[in-house]
Amino acid sequence: MAGYNGVWRVKTVLDSSRFQADLRPTQGLQAGTGGTAGDSSLSCGQPHGMLTYDTAAYWFPSAYLSGVPVAPERIRAYYFGPALHHPKGLQLIGGKSDAPDAASNKHVHWHCGQSEALPTPSLSHPYDCAPYRDLPSGDFVDGIVGVVEMPRCWDGYEGLAPDAPIGPSHVKYPDEDGGVSDTTCEPPYDEELIKLSLRDHFGGTLMTPCTTCLAYNLARTEIVSGTCSGGLCQGKFTIANFPSHGLSVGDFVDVTGAKEGWDSPAAGYQIVSKNATTFRVANLPSTLATCTQRCGAASQHYYNVTFTLAGPGPEDTGNPYYRLHADFYQTWQQAALIALEDKCANGGVCAQDGQSSNIKDNAQVDNLPAP
């Protein structure tokens, strides 16, 4: 479909033509041609919900598989506090549409959905979600999820008029605001906004969005006694959640997000032995401490992502996954947004169902008749 370069997910909009969804500087304020509207869902950071009075525009580039557009399942927007409310008319751009690689788009990550019973790894690249869907507790998995964390450090500019747009140049990420800290907002961008996390559920068509791309959370990492020579030893990694994993001897794996010293080098670790729930690698320092919880994730090193993303042009459909980005135009009903953000910031209940993975539609959350 020519021109299908973006997806609008707009809820309860009386005049959708007033939303200008593509905010990228190279495009100006233009709607993505051929965009589609559909259900959005809004969630607090802990208790979760979706609200029919969310009238903001959320935009992602469309995914393509073999040149055919993949309609996403839904978008979820999470608001985390406490911090300042998003001012009326605020425009945000998250991620980088021109990123040369995944490492350059560090505010974007991928997972297969999350629940308390079954967290899935958050990685810099997509991976196979089918193993998670097939677990007894994996019925919430609906395909790969692309997560864009939006910038939150604001310079306080409020626009030329009460309802005038506040352009995206007025908000930065903490690591891009010119300060010395990569985690806090510093002058002139020292007004910290509620953190907005946009999550695009690409749907079952992209349940397996790649080849040789298994990924698992790690429940334990430890040095194996009796395997050391010259200060180097075998390390054993225990897979979380799975009674049997699909990694093989000889595979190279990336270990990320682990305790200090356990992350793999750029070329990955090579598996030297395995059983159903563990694998081992060689030549790790004997001084590494045992980890017994939240020990990072392991993923196959040589993977091939099979889908692409749309770009700025109407025929531009071949962009790599690591150029995922998102736009947000704050056209909420402001009183409703303030109430929602206050509830999220204070841990209030925003929905009847506290498990985000089970929330499917606005009718469920707002206690409305089924559509």
Q: Is residue 325 part of a domain?
A: yes
Instruction: Choose the final residue of a domain: 302, 325, 355.
Output: 302
**Mean pLDDT over residues 279-286, rounded?**
98
Q: Same domain for 167 and 119?
A: yes
Q: Same domain for 191 and 296?
A: no
Q: Is residue 371 part of a domain?
A: no
Q: Same domain for 163 and 254?
A: no
Q: Residue type at 166?
A: I
Average pLDDT of the chain is 81
pLDDT in the model for residue 347: 58
Q: What are phi and psi of 313, to 5 degrees?
A: -90, 155
pLDDT in the model for residue 25: 37
Q: Are 344 and 81 in contact (CB under 8 A)?
A: yes
* pLDDT over 60 at 17, yes or no: no
Q: Is residue 256 part of a domain?
A: yes
**Mean pLDDT over residues 105-119, rounded?**
91
Which residues neighbour 331 within 8 Å (Cβ) at sequence distance 6 or greater?
A: 18, 19, 55, 56, 57, 88, 89
Alpha-carbon torsion, ordered 301, 269, 217, 240, to 10 deg: 130
Q: 112: closest CA among 95, 134, 96? A: 134
Q: Same domain for 199 and 311?
A: yes
What span, in angstroms and rounded, lies between the C-alpha atoms of 299 and 125?
10
pLDDT in the model for residue 114: 82
Q: What are phi and psi of 353, to 5 degrees?
A: -115, 120
Instruction: Choose the final residue of a domain: 302, 328, 344.
Output: 302
Task: Round to the nearest angstrom and report the end-to-end CA distance of the chain.
Answer: 29
Instruction: Choose the final residue of a domain: 280, 302, 324.
Output: 302
Q: Residue type at 250?
A: G
Helix count and strand count (H, E) for the chain? 3, 23
**Mean pLDDT over residues 263-273, rounded?**
97
Q: Same domain for 253 and 361?
A: no
Q: Same domain for 12 and 119?
A: yes
Q: Same domain for 187 and 334?
A: yes
> Checking DSSP bridges between strand 40-44 and strand 74-80, what pairing results, if any?
parallel
pLDDT in the model for residue 367: 40
What span, in angstroms and rounded, lies between the C-alpha atoms of 72 and 55?
19
* From 1-5, 47-51, 228-232, 251-255, the region with the lowest mean pLDDT: 1-5
* pLDDT over 90 at 270, yes or no: yes
What span, in angstroms and rounded, lies between the C-alpha atoms of 215 and 300?
7
| Top-confidence range, 16-20, 57-61, 201-205 | 201-205
Half-sphere exposure of 186 (CA within 13 A, CB side): 11
Structural domain span for residue 11? 7-210+306-366
**Mean pLDDT over residues 131-151, rounded?**
93
Q: Same domain for 198 and 103?
A: yes
Q: Same domain for 61 and 198?
A: yes
- Percentage of the chain with pLDDT > 70? 78
Burial 245-274 (b: 16+ CB within 10 A, else e): bebeeebbbbbbbbbeebebeeebbebeeb
pLDDT in the model for residue 57: 78
Q: Is residue 1 part of a domain?
A: no
- Runs of H (alpha helix) within the chain: 130-133, 334-345, 362-366
Q: Is residue 2 part of a domain?
A: no
pLDDT in the model for residue 332: 83
Q: Give Cα 11 to chain centroid, integer Å.
A: 21
Q: 201: closest CA among 10, 72, 325, 322? A: 72
Q: 153: closest CA among 94, 204, 214, 218? A: 94
Q: Is residue 177 part of a domain?
A: yes
The DSSP code sequence of 119-170 is: ----BSS----HHHHTSTT-TT--S-EEEEEPP-EE-----SSTT--B-GGG
Q: 54: closest CA among 268, 285, 294, 365? A: 365
**What is the number of structural domains in the chain?**
2
Q: What is the CATH number of the domain that holds 230?
A: 2.40.30.20
Q: Same domain for 73 and 28?
A: yes
* pLDDT over 60 at 294, yes or no: yes
Q: pLDDT band for position 99 (50/70/90)?
A: very high
* pLDDT over 60 at 301, yes or no: yes
Whole-prediction pTM = 0.84
Q: Same domain for 202 and 288?
A: no
Q: Same domain for 320 and 289?
A: no
